[in-house]
Amino acid sequence: MRLREMTINPPLTGLKIAITRPREQAVQLAQRIEQAGGNALLFPLLDITAVQDTRGLNEQIFRLSQFDLAIFISPNAVRYGIAAIRVAGSLPPKLKIATVGQGSAKALHELGIAKVIAPKERFDSEGLLAMPELQDIDGWRVMIFRGDGGRELLGDTLKARGATVEYAACYQRSKPQQDAGVLLSAAPDAITVTSSEALGYLWQMLDSKAQQAMRLIPIFVPHPRIAELAIQQGWKKVKLTGSGDDGLLTALIAWAEKKGPI
């Protein structure tokens, strides 16, 4: 939809869209929803902060020049990992850089890192592992920048291909104190959820009566893994979107246009 058309007849007019991302990361999507006429409801289900004890991370960064490849697992890994690296100095010039998604790749480009290995279709560990650049890596040393914990598929597969892998935790996740009643009272027309962890937290805070009411609300998720979890939980209207803000907004607008005016 063209900008002029959106201005004359905003496609999300009258719709309340709940955003469950960490508050700082929700700002841009909220602005775009409101530009499209919607009412963005911020209900963060995760807090993201830099690691408190940086001794281990700093020691790994000190050795980064000994590595062949650094993988940044998410935009948060880019933000906090590159910040920590630049406090210590700069990225080693011969170090290859990779990431799993286009949002992370964009964040790297915005920080002046031009050459990034990133999948162009499937935006996850499986997509990155399918890249030709990561097939013949026997003997490589790989450092994976991520949060505190996460999937081991990427590291385990690289190890199976002969690489030595280290995880560098550069940020940590925590669950903010939220009241599910606030979200229920707001009566959102749709909910966006961008991590399985956040979706699990949301479901845990609901009692059975609230779960019955909530599962009828359309939920927009950008990855099949999150969609599978939502279906297992019992959500009735799970909408799988494209990646990033663009994917979420495109899906929301398509749904709103099909839904018709309120």
Q: pLDDT per position in the chain (262 positions), as tens?
A: 444 444 567 999 999 999 999 988 899 999 999 999 999 999 999 999 999 999 999 999 999 999 999 999 998 999 999 999 999 999 999 999 999 988 899 999 999 999 999 998 887 889 999 999 999 999 999 999 999 877 789 999 999 999 999 999 999 989 898 888 899 999 999 999 999 999 999 999 999 999 999 999 999 999 899 999 999 999 999 999 988 888 999 999 999 998 766 5
**142 and 202 share a domain?**
no
Say if residue 181 is in the same domain as residue 225.
yes
pLDDT at residue 36 in the model: 96
Structurally, how many domains does the chain consist of? 2
Of 143, 127, 130, 135, residue with least CA distance to 161: 135
Helix (H) or strand (E) holding 171: strand 164-174
Does residue 131 sit in the same domain as residue 199?
A: no
122 and 188 in a single domain? The answer is: no
Among 153, 174, 195, residue at a domain's last position = 174
Residues 186 and 239 in one domain: yes
**What pLDDT, on a 0 to 100 scale, did the predictor assign at position 260?**
66
Q: Which of 157, 174, 191 is the last residue of a domain?
A: 174
Task: Specify whether 113 is located in the same domain as 223.
Answer: no
At CB < 8 A and 24+ separation, what contacts does 239-246 make?
243/101, 243/102, 243/103, 243/123, 244/101, 244/102, 244/103, 244/106, 245/28, 245/29, 245/32
Buried b (16+ CB within 10 A) or exposed e, 61-99: beebeebbbbbbbbbbbbbbbbebbeeeeebeeeebbbb
Same domain, 135 and 185: no
Instruction: Point out the domain boundary residue: 156, 174, 192.
Output: 174
pLDDT of residue 3: 46
pLDDT score recorded for residue 2 = 45
Specify whether 151 is located in the same domain as 92: yes
Answer yes or no: do 156 and 54 share one domain. yes
Query: In which domain, by residue range, is 107 found?
Result: 49-174
Domain check: are 95 and 165 in the same one? yes
My answer on whether 166 and 194 are in the same domain is no
- Residue 100 sits in the same domain as residue 142: yes
Q: Looking at residue 124, what is its pLDDT?
A: 83
What CATH number has the domain bearing residue 141? 3.40.50.10090
Look at the pTM and tell me if it is higher than 0.85.
Answer: no
Can you give the pLDDT at residue 167? 96
